[in-house]
Amino acid sequence: MLRTWLPFEQPLVEIEERISALQEEQVEEPEERRKARIAELEKKAAELKQQIFADLSSWDKVQLARHPRRPYTLDYFNIICDEFVELHGDRLYGDDGAVIGGLATIASRPMVVMGHQKGRTTKERQKRNFGSAHPEGYRKALRFLRLGEKFRWPVVTFIDTPAAACLEEAEARGISQAIAFNMKESFRIKTPIVVIVIGEGGSGGAIGMAVGDRILMLEYAIYSVIPPESCASIIWRDSALAPQAAEALKLTSDDVLRLGVVDKVIPEPLGGAHRECYETAQRIKREMLAAVDELALLPTDELLRRRYQKFRAMGKWLEAVHPRLPSAAGAGEGTLGAEGGS
């Protein structure tokens, strides 16, 4: 059982297993004594949980975002949606299992919902390609966006992918073009779009479906231009340095919120979403509905204008004068110029 938990969680899991054993075992022991032992262990577990999750590194949070027990998109749909009718296929090539979506009712409101789905068993992971979408997956997502626009329903997207499919077959079918086209068309969709990063927000695999009016993110999700292992392999020629790469990439929810890439972080229950799936789903639902209600008040032209400006404003640079070159603007040698955004 411990194999399905992260190394830093295992001391906590061992205590929880002892509690479960005490609650279930049939022994000749005074009830009060057994309850006292359970209460003592529960107090110890609560203190240990608080201690563990109060001091997580960036790499720890990467592991939490990939946790084998972490809820996936369908898990949240089953809790959040009053009704959900799944739609299949891109109507051009095929049905990509890495992207799911369809028509839903949430709190009596009609919506279009979609997202990445990774899969838990070996067979399902192969079917879903571990949540890495092919070109037909992005065309399928665009189909959902256009359905939302047609019906004038808001679209909610759940992001959870390590990256887009990168095998030869995906390249042959135009994966880069599919991602770029989705991004371009997303800026034209005339209905509110809410995006929620629930696990891994990896590279083009994420951004191809993550253009929206509100970008929300779970506390222990990550959002990055590249996985830490790949970054470490490129920069230091050693994937074992992934923990250092994770720190440098600034991929945690706190980091990307500070950088203005997401609008709000949704706190997870203590211990992570994988311990309290239902409670996490309710927190997502509250924030999602609040965002949808706010966006519904905007005229369409203003909605599109703000969406465009939101992404144009992301990113910063510093202009500097090379110490050996004269400043074209007349600034002193080696001084920093103005900071701007793009």
- Residue 173 CB-half CA count within 13 A: 19
The C-alpha atoms of residue 320 and residue 134 are separated, in whole angstroms, by: 41
CA distance 219 to 61: 9
Q: What pLDDT score was predicted for residue 321?
A: 75
Assign residue 340 a region (left: φ > 0; alpha: ψ between -120 and 50; beta: otherwise).
Answer: beta
Statement to judge: residues 8 and 142 lie in one domain: no
What type of residue sits at position 310? K
Residue 128, domain CATH: 3.90.226.10
Residue 274 C-beta-side C-alpha neighbours within 13 Å: 17
Q: Tell me: do 253 and 114 sit in the same domain.
A: yes
Q: How many helices (H) and strands (E) does the chain have?
A: 14, 10
Would you write out the chain's pLDDT as a tens digit for each of its 342 residues?
456 899 899 999 999 888 888 877 766 667 778 788 888 888 999 999 999 999 899 999 999 999 999 999 999 999 999 999 999 999 999 999 999 999 999 999 999 999 999 999 999 999 999 999 999 999 999 999 999 999 999 999 999 999 999 889 999 999 999 999 999 999 999 999 999 999 999 989 999 999 999 999 999 999 999 999 999 999 999 999 999 999 999 999 999 999 999 999 999 999 999 999 999 999 999 999 999 999 999 999 999 999 999 999 987 777 777 677 665 554 444 444 444 443
pLDDT for res 331: 46
Count of domains for the chain? 2
Same domain, 169 and 272: yes
| Buried/exposed code over 237-250 (b: 16+ C-beta within 10 A; e: otherwise) | eeeebbbbbbeebe
Considering the domain architecture, whether residues 42 and 150 belong to the same structural domain is answered as: no
For CA atoms 73, 67, 90, 299, give the dihedral sign.
Answer: positive
User: Do 83 and 46 lie in a common domain?
Assistant: no
CA 289 vs CA 100, 109, 135, 209, 293: distances in Å: 20, 9, 30, 19, 6
Same domain assignment for residues 5 and 94: no
Residue 37 and residue 175 share a domain: no
Range of the domain at 190: 62-312
Are both 45 and 66 inside the same structural domain?
Answer: no
CA angle 227, 221, 242 (to 5 degrees): 30
